[in-house]
């Protein structure tokens, strides 16, 4: 009997948590999204062929990136470089 009650409470808690996240209006893709490790995109602290993070559409001033994890140098570079349009 106790086990059945615990299971019911647990399911109820999970359902409430899910509803709270949905109510917050956070898109599922944003909640599940994780940034890529710097090593996976060959991030470096210096520009390459005139391309640098502060010219990239993914760069977030002063020192982060929409897609790559960790501190990003505005003068850095990685293979995910995307020119600003
Ligand atoms: S070059 Fe790479 S690390 Fe730099 S802002 Fe663009 S995607 Fe991010």
The structural domain count of the chain equals 1
What is the DSSP annotation of the chain? -HHHHHHHHHHHHHHHHHHHHHHTT--HHHHH--PBPGGGGT-BSS-BTTB-GGGBTTEETTTEESSB-S---TT-B-TT--B--
Residue 77 belongs to some domain of the structure: no
d(CA 18, ligand 1 centre) in Å: 33
Does residue 19 form part of some domain?
Answer: yes
Nearest CA to ligand 1 atom 4: 53
For the chain, 85 residues long, give each residue's pLDDT as a single digit of tens. 455 555 554 555 444 544 444 555 545 555 557 999 999 999 999 999 999 999 999 999 999 999 999 999 999 999 999 999 8
Domain residues for the domain of 24 are 2-65
Which residues line ligand 1 at a C-beta cut-off of 6 Å? 41, 43, 53, 56, 58-59, 65, 67-68, 72, 76-78, 80-81
- For residue 81, being part of any structural domain is answered with no
Name the pTM for this structure. 0.66
What is the residue with the minimal CA distance to atom 1 of ligand 1? 81
């Amino acid at each position: 009997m106790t086990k059945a009650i615990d299971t019911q409470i647990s399911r109820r808690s999970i359902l409430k948590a899910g509803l709270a996240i949905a109510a917050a209006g956070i898109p599922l893709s944003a909640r599940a999204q994780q940034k890529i490790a710097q090593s996976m995109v060959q991030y470096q602290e210096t520009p390459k062929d005139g391309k640098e993070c502060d010219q990239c559409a993914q760069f977030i001033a002063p020192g982060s990136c929409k897609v790559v994890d960790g501190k990003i140098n505005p003068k850095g570079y990685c293979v995910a470089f995307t020119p600003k349009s």
